[in-house]
Amino acid sequence: MKYLKKTTSREISKIRWIIPVLPVFISAALYAGPRPNVLFVVSDDLSSRITPAGYPGIQTPVLDQLANDSTVFRRAYCQYPVCGPSRASFLSGLYPETTGVLDNEVRIAETRPGSPSLPDVFRKAGYWAASTGKVFHRPFDNGAEDWDVLKHFDNDETPLEKQAREAFEEKNGPVTDPKNKKAWKEYYPAIAPQTRDQGVKGLGPGYGPTGMPDEQHNDGKNAQTAAAWLTERAFGDKPFLIACGFHKPHIPFLAPDKYFKLYPKQSLFFDRDPATDWDDIPAIAQTKQFLDYGFPPLGTEDLDRRREFTQAYYACISFVDAQLGIVLDALRRSGEWDNTIIVFIGDNGYHLGEHFMWGKVHLFEESAKVPMLVRVPGVTKGEIHSGLVELVDIFPTLAELCSVTPPAELQGRSFVPVLHDAAAPGKEWAYTVVRRGDKLGQAVRFGRYRYTEWGSPDKNELYDLDADPRERTNLAKNPENEPLVKQAQTVLETARSKAQSEKITTEDQNK
């Protein structure tokens, strides 16, 4: 592609004098031809349960087609398996210990003021930057600070909700009356599984068919909005960075009825873990979310309940796939298909009963590994990359592809060479962390292994994922593996040092 051809060092030297005053034009001058557009799509809580990622049985025809024109990363890892920290990381190009964002309660603008974000850098480089849906962690996005246009939507009221609300109001008056707010708030989750929203203790999150068409869901509105920007050419004469953040398959697991019909519950079967699975794993590695989902004590199963939630999660994936199709069809109609890079990722993984766990916030493969497809016109050609890559690498990669000068502080590494040749080596390791109280679990994926420490070397895990892909045998507990454990500790220390190279201290934050 023309825009990937760099000029010579002599040519660059001729334009150095304008760097202080015209950084945007400097960036453009480094490459010949028009700069490419970027369509950046994030699916919330989407684990690697899609066909391109090697997971059979999920119906994602749009992603399957996109994979034929992309590089598919089979070993891509998030840096923190929770929405806010993960997004703060890949949108800044920094590891979580550097961003200071280790939960969903703060944003990077508070922990690291002035740290540039991907959309902010692209916008200042002359791109039209627009966001719809959940891209930064809502409500902690940076709004007008980073985007030319920012949109958020809610689901319409479902027929089930409307019927219940009207019956309530007939008896009590409007739900908006101050005297009724508390009673309605308590009654609402009891209406049906679909109205449990983020969850009811012991019953789990909301789930089920909504009785609404796609376009009445917030993700349907996100898709229609992004599509309109493309077909109406809202970006004008500028290259664009359009980010579309789909909320599903995040809880509540709600989708139009037709997607639930794709996955009959009795057709769902699971690779069940042994009841003794947790005997060799540090207890700190687990969470109690399985109890919130209404599952029995650790080590026991409720297969009917597992099928209920799994069906709903799968339905949400197929729903997102259909919405992606609307956006990609609009991109083709816009005339910009041949000059648009497409990045599709999940922000973190998700457990659906593996290791008897539910949700994210773990350091097993189900939480740490994410799907990632990158399509670069004229470069990628439907190949699979089996090397390691991290979400923190997206920022420097897009900057290189688009002739945008990246911030000097970026900790990720461009994977442009892999886009040209999927057989090129990946990274030496991928690093993921998650917090447990005042402890930080730190995991490194390297070679065929994953090694994790939970605050101290004696609370550790080591798995051989070639021989044990379900991570059921903790090798760290066998004295015979001490040399391998020491090797893993060395790799972890290397990763930890890089991730903390610009770590924010409490003293820094108080300045």
- Which two tokens mark 61? 């025809």
Residues 6+ apart with CB under 8 A from 330: 226, 227, 228, 230, 231
Are 351 and 290 a contacting pair, CB within 8 Å? no
- In this prediction, residue 140 carries a pLDDT of 47
What phi and psi, each to the nearest 5 degrees, are found at residue 467?
-85, -25
Q: What is the pTM of this model?
A: 0.91
Does the pLDDT of residue 456 top 90, yes or no? Answer: yes
Question: How many angstroms separate the CA atoms of 192 and 175, rounded?
Answer: 18
User: Tokens 């009825």 identify what position?
Assistant: 257
At residue 384, the pLDDT reads 98
Do 340 and 39 contact (CB within 8 A), yes or no?
yes
Q: How far apart are CA 136 and CA 266, in angstroms?
A: 37
Print the SS3 string covering 69-129: CCEEEEEEECCCCCHHHHHHHHCCCCCHHHHCCCCCCCCHHHHCCCCCCHHHHHHHCCCEE
48-61 residue pLDDT tens? 999 999 999 999 99
| Residue 132 phi, psi (nearest 5) | -130, 135
Listed in order, the ranges of the chain carrying CATH 3.40.720.10 are 35-155+212-427
Q: Give the chain's end-to-end CA distance (angstroms, integer).
A: 47
How confident is the model over 150-167, as a mean pLDDT? 96
**Cβ proximity of 190 and 180 under 8 Å:** no
**Could you read off the pLDDT of 362-380 as tens digits, one per residue?**
999 999 999 999 999 999 9
* Conformation bin of residue 335: beta by default, left when phi > 0, alpha when psi is -120 to 50: left
Residues 6+ apart with CB under 8 A from 59: 262, 318, 321
Nearest residue to 360 via CA among 41, 42, 59, 44: 44
Q: What is the pLDDT of residue 201?
A: 87
Does the pLDDT at position 144 exceed 80?
no
User: C-alpha distances in angstroms, 164 versus 157, 306, 348, 489?
Assistant: 11, 28, 35, 56
Look at residue 16 and tell me whether its pLDDT is greater than 50.
Answer: no
Q: What span, in angstroms and rounded, lies between the C-alpha atoms of 396 and 416?
A: 9
Q: What's 36's DSSP letter?
A: P
- Residue whose pair of structure tokens reads 């066909």 in the numeric block: 51
Please count the helices (runs of H) and the strands (runs of E) in the chain. 18, 16
Q: What percent of the chain has pLDDT over 90?
A: 86
Q: Are 374 and 398 in contact (CB under 8 A)?
A: no
CA nearest 39: which of 292, 265, 335, 239?
A: 239
- Summarised one tens digit per residue, pLDDT across range 227-248 is 999 999 999 999 999 999 999 9
CATH superfamily of 35-155+212-427: Alkaline Phosphatase, subunit A (3.40.720.10)
Tokens representing residue 305 in the block: 């309940």
Pairing of strands 71-77, 369-375: antiparallel
Residue 33 pLDDT:
61
Average confidence score pLDDT of the chain: 91
So what's the pLDDT on residue 142? 58
